[in-house]
Amino acid sequence: MKKVGQTIKRALWGILNAIVLGAHNGHAESMNSRIQRLKKRACGFRNRERFRNAIYFHLGGLDLYPGCAMAGK
């Protein structure tokens, strides 16, 4: 119990800041989960560059459809 108390005392300001600011690592965990799902679905890649490109492609948030600029022409 002493060790737990000392740990809480040492990290108290960080704990309070996380509670007040609502800080969490949910976004990072979500991204990691999506990358792991992509890795599992692919059944392996030839090299790291292809895996990196797949992550950028699937999780990059790019809009791959043409924009409305072509609608006026």
One-letter amino acid of 24:
H
Tokens coding 39: 């890795």
Domain ranges of the chain: 2-61
pLDDT (tens digit per residue) in 6-33: 999 999 998 899 899 988 888 899 999 9
The pLDDT value given to residue 25: 87
Tell me the pLDDT band of 69, cut-offs 50, 70 and 90: low
**Cα angle for residues 33, 25, 36 (degrees, 5° grid):** 10
User: Sign of torsion, CA 44 50 54 60?
Assistant: positive
Of 64, 70, 12, 59, nearest in space to 33 by CA: 59
